[in-house]
Amino acid sequence: MSRRRLILLSLGGTITMLPSAEGGITPKLGAAELVASVPALGEVADIIAESPARLPSPSLTPAHLVETARRIEDAFAAGADGAVVIQGTDTIEESAFILDLLVAGDRPVVITGAMRGADAPGADGPANLLAAARVAASEEARGLGALAVLNYDIHAARFVQKTHTTLPSAFASPMVGPIGAVAEGRPRIFARVPRKPVLPAAAGPPAEVALLRWAMGDDGRLLGALPSLGYAGAVIEGMGAGHVPADAAQAIGDLAARMPVVLASRSAAGPVFTETYGYPGGEIDLIRRGAIPAGMLSGLKARLLLGLALRGGSGKAAAGAAFAPYQ
């Protein structure tokens, strides 16, 4: 078999950070320096290392990830066998899902980062980077869409979540668990998830979508302001399986008459229901008023899918079609 070729794109994050004179750690290392710091990568594949950005992940935008998807597509067209994306962990679950939605084909796209800075005792960046490269270069990972690889766990992009602020084991997939692990230096896939429809990266960044999490006693007074603020749609993280107080249901219906509204859950795992609770403010009532159920997707990921579906001025029909595969 010919030697594998990988494109490695670094966007910044803790994995690239070193102490600064001003205090704390900041992004300093580029992709080439990260590759050079892990000599074992040379045994995995020939690596093309690029640094499109050097940002902490809270400063990344969906536009950065759309451009990253385009770079990956170009690299695949030029013959690369897989891709590794490096970034900060704060937004990995969102970035992974954007790449899952935008990069077509069977070649692996793997995103990784680190919970500890590059100079910290027990820094996890080198091990995560090597594990990610091994997954991206493997036959086993083909056809699985975008993956997040951290702490030797392999997560499907649509399920992965950051669940802790500091532990190296911060990433989990509450709905299904990791779909594999890197053990003895090779990926082992325990379960395969089917690909969902892919949207074109060439259509650009997602439209602006508001994300609101419902809290006890909230009456929905913010909803009426969303259209005038320039949002193209909204995602509501309801309580439980997708519920709001009875006196707020009309506000959601009024908003759904003006823009696409997606109903997600604020719970860590589990699908939004569609046919169980019929009381005012229950999911049956909200869907009848025009809300689109998010299915298995979290509010963060539903926001990204809705924004991509609404590019170019598309409306509720396009939004409904985009969420149908996730029910």
DSSP state of 150: E
User: Which among 282, 299, 221, 279 is positioned nearest to 255, based on CA atoms?
Assistant: 221
pLDDT of residue 1: 58
DSSP 100-126: HHH--SSS-EEEE--SS-TTSTT--HH
Q: Kindly name the residue from 14, 16, 26, 91 that is annotated as catalytic.
A: 14
Q: Are residues 209 and 162 in contact, defined by beta-carbon separation less than 8 angstroms?
A: no
CATH C-level class of 5-189: alpha beta
The residue to which tokens 């419902």 are assigned: 214
Residue ranges with strand state E in 51-115: 82-86, 109-112
pLDDT of residue 20: 87
Question: Does the pTM exceed 0.85?
Answer: yes
Summarize the annotated binding site for substrate as residue ranges.
Answer: 57, 89-90
- The pLDDT profile of the chain, 327 residues, written as one tens digit per residue, is 579 999 999 999 999 999 888 889 988 899 999 999 999 999 999 999 999 999 999 999 999 999 999 999 999 999 999 999 999 999 999 999 999 999 999 999 999 999 999 888 999 999 999 999 999 999 999 999 999 999 999 999 999 999 999 999 999 999 999 999 999 999 999 999 999 999 999 999 999 999 999 999 999 999 999 999 999 999 999 999 999 999 999 999 999 999 999 999 999 999 999 999 999 999 999 999 999 999 999 999 999 999 999 999 989 999 999 999 999
264 forms beta bridges with 237
pLDDT of residue 37: 93
Query: How many Å apart are CA 118 and CA 22, to the nearest integer?
Result: 17
pLDDT of residue 119: 87
Summarize the annotated binding site as residue ranges.
Answer: 57, 89-90
Query: How many Å apart are CA 131 and CA 151, to the nearest integer?
Result: 9
Q: Do the domains at 5-189 and 208-326 have one common CATH topology?
A: yes
Active-site residue flag, 274: no
DSSP 223-284: GGGTGGGT-SEEEEEEBTTTB--GGGHHHHHHHHTTS-EEEEESSSS-PPPSSS--STTSHH
In the chain, where the domains are located: 5-189, 208-326
Query: How many Å apart are CA 97 and CA 87, to the nearest integer?
Result: 14
Query: CA–CA distance from 89 to each of 60, 165, 167, 220, 247 (Å)?
Result: 11, 9, 11, 32, 38
State the fold for domain 208-326: Rossmann fold (3.40.50)
